């Protein structure tokens, strides 16, 4: 990693700008099962990076390792020039959707934000403004649509204007319209905050026009490259474990299962 002060450059994967997140020879495992072997890459500051991989490939584990919640078996993980460890400031996270207990769904969404950020009223308000969620926050969590709920959970990741956003499958369970809205919203916010975004997803289509780089896990190998590199048939087959097809037309590219 080389610093290049004074030099203006667009956020780009693998660029020589100081990296927000740096993996050097990292191996991650669950018990005896190795998920990721010898991963080395750097996420450029301000980049929107899509994270892909089949179910169980280790997307969530990789995110947890950035948070310092999973210790690498080998190698080093550096976040903003310091080793990854839990409780670092400046990182906003949106955990994978989970089943909410019925009683929690009866709470106003703001109660969840306040529980996570006690005594930070103004910062919570600013985060809600970013997602245009002031009015939604007073309503019952259970009364919100999937997209609305995801916006509020995104707001709670934004409290304190973080420089790194780790978003674990924010599109899971959303209808296509809501998916497009959430992606556009996250893209707008990362420009506003000049934050680096690591965004995991199953379907890469919603991210194709937006991401600067793609990070993917296939057969325990992690690769970081331009999104175009992901669109090769052999790469996609390895990623999904099925025959995939790239269709382009009307200025757009779409990836679908070949059958």
Partner 1 sequence: MLSQMLQFGFMQDALLAALAVSVLAGVVGYLLVLRAASFAGHALSHIAFAGASAALLAGWPPLPGMIGLPVLAGAAIGAIERPAGRRGGAAADVAIGLLLAASLAVGLLCLHFATGSVSAATSLLFGNILGIDRATLWVLCAVVVAALAGLAWMHRTLLFVILQPDLAEAQGVRVRLVWAGFMMLAGVAVAASAQIVGVLLTFALMVAPPAAAQRLTRHPRTGAAVSVALALAQCWAGLVASYLTDWPVSVWIVGFGVAAFVLAWAVGARLDRR
Site for partner 1, rule CB under 8 A: 67, 69, 85-87, 91, 93, 95-96, 98-104, 106-108, 111-112, 115-116, 118, 138, 140, 143, 156
Nearer to partner 1, 75 or 142 (CB): 142
- Minimum gap (Å) between residue 143 Cβ and partner 1: 7
| Distance, CA of 234 to CA of 68 (rounded, Å) | 33
Nearer to partner 1, 157 or 185 (CB): 157
Angle subtended by helix axes 109-116 and 146-158, to nearest 10: 20
Helix (H) or strand (E) holding 178: helix 176-193
| Distance, CA of 117 to CA of 227 (rounded, Å) | 35
Nearer to partner 1, 5 or 101 (CB): 101
Nearer to partner 1, 40 or 96 (CB): 96
User: Cα 44 from chain centroid?
Assistant: 14
- Minimum gap (Å) between residue 118 Cβ and partner 1: 5
User: Cα 238 from chain centroid?
Assistant: 21
- Minimum gap (Å) between residue 150 Cβ and partner 1: 15
- Minimum gap (Å) between residue 252 Cβ and partner 1: 35
Closest by CA position to 218, among listed 237, 246, 243, 244: 237
């Amino acid at each position: 990693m080389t610093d290049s002060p004074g030099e203006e450059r667009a956020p780009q994967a693998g660029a020589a700008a100081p990296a927000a997140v740096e993996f050097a020879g990292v191996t991650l495992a669950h018990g005896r099962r190795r998920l990721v072997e010898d991963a080395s890459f750097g996420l450029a500051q301000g980049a929107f990076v899509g994270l892909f991989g089949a179910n169980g490939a280790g997307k969530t584990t990789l995110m947890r390792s950035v948070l310092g919640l999973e210790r690498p078996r080998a190698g080093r993980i550096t976040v903003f020039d310091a080793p990854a460890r839990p409780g670092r400031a400046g990182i906003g996270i949106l955990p994978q959707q989970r089943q909410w207990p019925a009683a929690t769904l009866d709470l106003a969404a703001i109660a969840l934000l306040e529980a996570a950020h006690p005594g930070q009223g103004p910062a919570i308000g600013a985060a809600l403004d970013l997602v245009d969620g002031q009015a939604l926050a007073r309503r019952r969590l259970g009364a919100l649509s999937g997209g609305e709920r995801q916006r509020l959970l995104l707001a709670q990741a934004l409290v304190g204007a973080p420089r790194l956003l780790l978003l674990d499958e924010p599109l899971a369970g959303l209808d296509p319209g809501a998916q497009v809205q959430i992606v556009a919203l996250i893209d707008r916010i990362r420009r506003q905050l000049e934050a680096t975004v690591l965004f995991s997803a199953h379907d890469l289509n919603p991210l194709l026009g937006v991401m600067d780089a793609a990070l993917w896990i296939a057969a325990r190998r992690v690769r970081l490259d331009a999104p175009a590199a992901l669109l090769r048939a052999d790469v996609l087959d390895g990623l999904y474990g099925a025959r995939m097809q790239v269709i382009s037309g009307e200025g757009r590219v779409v990836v679908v299962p070949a059958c």
